[in-house]
Amino acid sequence: MIGIEVKAAETVRTDDFRGLRLLQRRLGDRFHAGFVLCSGEQSGSFGDGMTCLPISALWTS
């Protein structure tokens, strides 16, 4: 399972992954990755399978 959250903000902070980390703890090995989609242009890793991506990544390669 993967978790996805969408934020209207242009920047993503570690705290924005709070809900996804809770889901990760509850699902254990069934949880594969967590993504926060934001309105900014930056992507990055937040460790332990957590990644932020711009919403535009949904329609661009």
User: pLDDT, tens digit, for every residue of 18-61?
Assistant: 999 999 999 999 999 999 999 999 999 999 999 999 999 999 87
The pLDDT, as a whole number, for residue 61 is 73
Range of the domain at 40: 1-6+17-45
Q: Give the number of domains in the chain.
A: 1
The pLDDT, as a whole number, for residue 50 is 98
Q: Is residue 12 part of a domain?
A: no
Q: Is residue 33 part of a domain?
A: yes
C-alpha 31/C-alpha 24 separation (Å) is 6
Q: Is residue 23 part of a domain?
A: yes
Cα→Cα distances 60→16, 17, 41, 42, 49, Å: 24, 24, 12, 14, 22
Asked if 35 contacts 5 with a C-beta cutoff of 8 angstroms, the reply is: yes
Q: Is residue 28 part of a domain?
A: yes
C-alpha 13/C-alpha 30 separation (Å) is 25
pTM: 0.90
The pLDDT, as a whole number, for residue 28 is 97
Give the tokens for residue 10.
Answer: 């242009």
φ, ψ of residue 37 to 5 degrees: the values are -95, 135
pLDDT tens track for 2-19? 999 999 999 999 999 999
